[in-house]
Structure 1
Amino acid sequence: MSSWWNKTSASNFTRGLTSITGQLSSNLKDILTEASEENYDPTAELTRARQQIEDLDLRKQALMEEVLM
């Protein structure tokens, strides 16, 4: 009788945990980096936000055109 938990399952589980750990580590690093920035520039934040909105609008438009084709 073969077990449902074999070396392949354990290996996949370990890889999954490693991936999640890496993602959490990366996200935490980004959060801490943003939090430690001492020079808050509202104008730069607004510019960055507007650029992100513009980028998202362009992506949305491209997806809409793709769906309509």
Structure 2
Amino acid sequence: MDRLLAGFHLPLVALRDETPGFAVSLVKAGARLRGQKVGGVRPPLGEPTADQLGRLERVVADGLALVRETG
């Protein structure tokens, strides 16, 4: 649990906290990264920047790797 908190949850929360109302944007962006067909967010919410998407991709990959390790 500590490894999942440190390696996935806390980095995701830090990314989410960069922009007010970003939780929905990140969940949708994460779903798209995993191949799900979801639309964009509606104003006033905004989409993650290219840098934020790259960081989200790493956070998701790290989280999935941790889950596989505990499998």
**Structure 2 length-normalised TM:** 0.37
Structure number with higher relative contact order (C-alpha < 8 Å, ≥ 6 residues apart): 2
- Normalized per residue, the structure richer in helix is 1
